[in-house]
Structure 1
């Protein structure tokens, strides 16, 4: 019954979006205790938390959050949380410049000079770029299922065929603009730039420019947790976690996407989009959660593997870790 009501709510929001429906969709695991935390300062970091989305990301669409339930859980623990909005499809450097402008705005609002940045997927290289170029704005970097060593999807041979690349570019950019329209944004979209930057060749170039926190090789765990930034001469802490499951819940319609992508790229040790060996950065909290790529943002609507952790709890635990460190 709860699902029927909730899907009806989503449908009504879609139907009447022109009138500005902003109802927050929040029904999967509705009674999870972390949504009603009795520890009001558990995740109260000194510096605000900024959540940075990945490919085709957004803040919320008709009340449905990209980081589903995660801001609520963090705020219930005392955290000051901001949701960044950057281009869904372009290079990490361009997304990073867009993020820097927003961080300057957030700093003016919060009165805090630095932020704890959490980046999901393409959001990880994005926040790494910001930490490298504007370290004065960054206290810590947390990569969540981050494509720190690229993605096999970007190396697909089909992209070398001009007509195929043209179609992918057209369709991918249209999707980006549609998401922008419904999320009330207006960013430049370039999916081919994204794929180029996440290819083996592209990520090697990116990592050569912005190596802070990276292990010596993919799948490594020797990345520095604390890096003294060359520009600011101040420390920035680096963390990461991820998973390596593709299908995690039979009721999740998005699991099919992960299964198809994994099969298409002949992968197995990945989360359906990003290889496990691409996720490591700084202190690796864990890289083998029973979670797929979208589970890390608590999609779809909180559906997950039975024995997997509640995704917002991972963000909450990381916030507490940062709080303990005075960040």
Structure 2
């Protein structure tokens, strides 16, 4: 399916404005119906195992506008590093949905890391390092702009600390830089529940590996331990570069040891009632005190280096453009944030 086959109403052509013949209420009604259709098609395609290049987008989505040929063309390649239970591609659905495509359209050289979906940042970082060395051999470049989502943020921070020669910049997207209260949930202190969590969590990790054709060691309990208050304190004492002086201070150094550090995130748990991921985040956010989180990670935990913003009206999955770009009506599209960051790095000669 291509955009040309979608109803003409849904295509926002370059240089034209949405027709004034439709009142605002009519536009909203149409978008609600379209969101339902897009979600259903997404689930059917995923369940069917079909490999697809279909791009669903609604008016205003950057994927409909093409791109400036070199807008995202950074000096050093970009490497996208997934978070907990992440993957590169499952049945045609990317973890960073459509984001590599948008970056490449703007001239960027983009690689996708393949590392364990669980484990500690150190273990995942050690898995990433040889891949960076392979990417360097392929690209001819010696450094990379690393972008990590969620658990991917402390993972790439570890790499920057132990192999700074491979890193030009670090960008944390909804990163768990100060852990998450989810890892300190009381049920994890009860041995039987902890055992079940470990077994089921590892099984899920291996299942994701199987369908994504990977085979990594898994330990959800190792992940939860390091993401707890005590665990992340130990981790951050070893790898403190660009962290703020205190939780929520947002004053981390943007340049440390020749490496630039950036971060952004959101603070809304649910953003679109048609997005299946919102159901999960609506449940998980109840484990986090207050309401200043993205459904998985507290807002203050996301801060690292130069904080671009930590209050986007986006939840944890929205930063990945899940599902099919569904989002809050007044939130930015995830691909546009990655494009802007690539252009920012380009401006620094990175």
TM bucket normalised to smaller: over 0.9
**Is contact 2:178–2:302 with CA below 8 Å preserved after alignment?**
yes
**2:10 matched to which residue of 1?**
none
**1:325 matched to which residue of 2?**
348
**2:161 matched to which residue of 1?**
132
**Is contact 1:254–1:300 with CA below 8 Å preserved after alignment?**
yes
- Secondary structure, aligned partner of 2:168: strand
| TM-score in terms of structure 1 length | 0.92
| TM-score in terms of structure 2 length | 0.87
* Runs of 4 or more above 6 Å deviation: none
1:169 to 195, 198, 208: 198
Greater radius of gyration (CA) = 2
2:276 to 237, 253, 276: 253
Q: CA RMSD, aligned part only?
A: 1.8
**2:327 matched to which residue of 1?**
304
Superposed counterparts of 1:36-185, under 5 Å: 36-185=65-214
Structure 1 stretch displaced more, 249-258 or 88-97: 249-258
**1:277 matched to which residue of 2?**
300
Task: State the shift of 1:180 in Å.
Answer: 0.4
Alpha-carbon distance between aligned partners in 1 of 2:52 and 2:193, rounded to the nearest angstrom: 39
**1:232 matched to which residue of 2?**
none
Q: 1:220 to 1:48 in 2, by over 3 A?
A: same
Superposed counterparts of 1:277-296, under 5 Å: 277-296=300-319
Q: 1:223 to 1:5 in 2, by over 3 A?
A: closer
| Paired residue total | 317
Q: Which runs of 5+ in 2 are unaligned?
A: 1-5, 7-33
Q: 1:123 to 1:30 in 2, by over 3 A?
A: farther
Task: State the shift of 1:266 in Å.
Answer: 3.4
**Is contact 2:42–2:324 with CA below 8 Å preserved after alignment?**
no
**Is contact 1:271–1:291 with CA below 8 Å preserved after alignment?**
yes
Q: Which runs of 5+ in 1 are unaligned?
A: 229-234
1:197 aligns with 2:220: no
Task: State the shift of 1:256 in Å.
Answer: 1.6
Alpha-carbon distance between aligned partners in 2 of 1:209 and 1:174, rounded to the nearest angstrom: 30
Alpha-carbon distance between aligned partners in 1 of 2:114 and 2:325, rounded to the nearest angstrom: 22
**Is contact 1:132–1:210 with CA below 8 Å preserved after alignment?**
yes
Alpha-carbon distance between aligned partners in 1 of 2:293 and 2:64, rounded to the nearest angstrom: 29
Task: State the shift of 1:4 in Å.
Answer: 5.1
**Superposed CA offset, 1:228-248 (max 9, x none):** 2xxxxxx00000000000110
